[in-house]
Amino acid sequence: MIVAVDGPAASGKGTLARRLARHFGLNYLDTGSLYRAVALRALTAGADPADPAAAVAAARQVEVGDLDDLRLRDDKVAQAASVVAAIPGVRAALLAFQRDFARRGEGAVLDGRDIGTVVCPDADAKVFLTATVEARAMRRFKELQARSAAAIYERVLQDMKLRDARDRERHTAPLVRASDAFELDTTALDADAAFVAVLRFIGERRQRR
């Protein structure tokens, strides 16, 4: 079984996808960490993340070991990730890895922006999470505080709006709900309630198939 979980930043994708993977005994891939790894490699090399040649070269060098780097969570890296993610060559370089991962073993849960539309258009179940930008910025702000990273709510909100716009407006694989995805607004839902709602959707979908 392949489950696609898409949505904007801090909509609850990671928490939900990890939990679904554990529940169904599937592998889990946070595809955002691939774009973050590309961005981190470009930044570390002193390159401009918007430079297609440098970004594509970085994408070709990304390895599984890169995905554990704590610096991937930095906000600077998140911004640069959405810049490299708009470059078609970067997306192309990361596509085969994601598709191979999805097909391995019993299947997988992947979270990202384009899993249901581009990476796994034939996924058995697709979920699209949303939440107001204010609620998402507050979640990210609290995450940053918990990591004792210096954070200012207004700044986090501003950065999130910027990244949302970049992700939605790019030409290649923009952030958009797949027509057959179950859309869930998590603004007023906690992680448990979101999990229960999605489990019900997957159960119904499997019965129909």
Q: Give the footprint of ligand CDP on this chain (CB under 6 A).
A: 9-10, 31-33, 35-36, 78, 81-82, 85, 112-114, 163, 167
Q: How far is the CB of 81 from ligand CDP (least distance, A)?
A: 4
Separation between Cα atoms, residue 16 and residue 10, nearest integer Å: 11
Q: Which is nearer to ligand CDP, 134 or 204 (CB)?
A: 134
Q: How far is the CB of 56 from ligand CDP (least distance, A)?
A: 15
Q: How far is the CB of 148 from ligand CDP (least distance, A)?
A: 19
Q: Which is nearer to ligand CDP, 21 or 208 (CB)?
A: 21
Separation between Cα atoms, residue 179 and residue 176, nearest integer Å: 9
Q: How far is the CB of 44 from ligand CDP (least distance, A)?
A: 17
For residue 183, give the H/E element and its range: strand 182-185
Residue whose C-alpha is closest to residue 5's, from 206, 159, 199: 199
Residues 90 and 80 sit within 8 Å (Cβ to Cβ): no
Can you read off the two tokens belonging to residue 143? 């995450």
Q: Which is nearer to ligand CDP, 107 or 112 (CB)?
A: 112
Q: Which is nearer to ligand CDP, 82 or 130 (CB)?
A: 82
Rounded-to-5 percentages of helix, strand, coil across the chain? 60, 10, 30
